[in-house]
Amino acid sequence: MSDSGLKLPAVLDLNAAAPLRSDLLALRGGPVEIDASQVQRIGGLCLQVLMAAKATWANDGKPFEIVSTSAPFLESLKLFGLVDPSLEPAQERAS
């Protein structure tokens, strides 16, 4: 993965939230690609960190993409009410 990429760990639970935030902040200022291919479980706090990062990158005018996803990652997004790995709520995607 390039310098502008981040490979997510298998478990994104409460203990992973602060390191995830730090890893993302280290990449701020440029485009970023997130590899979620190894994710087996994601909790609400890590999902919030990812959504906040997406909003921050959008505000900065920089690309923020999730380029690879595991089936458990996608299923978790659906359980949280998100329709795809773009991390946008279903009602926002519909409009």
- Is 55 a member of any domain? yes
Please indicate whether residue 6 or residue 84 has the higher confidence score (pLDDT).
6
- Is 36 a member of any domain? yes
Write the pLDDT tens digit of every residue in 42-78: 999 999 999 999 999 999 999 999 988 999 999 999 9
How many folded domains does the chain comprise?
A: 1
- Is 56 a member of any domain? yes
Q: Domain of residue 54: give its range.
A: 5-86
- Is 11 a member of any domain? yes
Write the pLDDT tens digit of every residue in 23-38: 999 999 999 999 999 9
Tokens of 79: 């359980």
- Is 92 a member of any domain? no
The domain spanning residue 53 has which CATH number? 3.30.750.24
Cα 20–68–15 angle (5° rounding)? 20
- Is 45 a member of any domain? yes
- Is 91 a member of any domain? no
- Is 93 a member of any domain? no
Residues 9 and 39: beta-carbon distance below 8 Å: yes
pTM of the prediction?
0.87
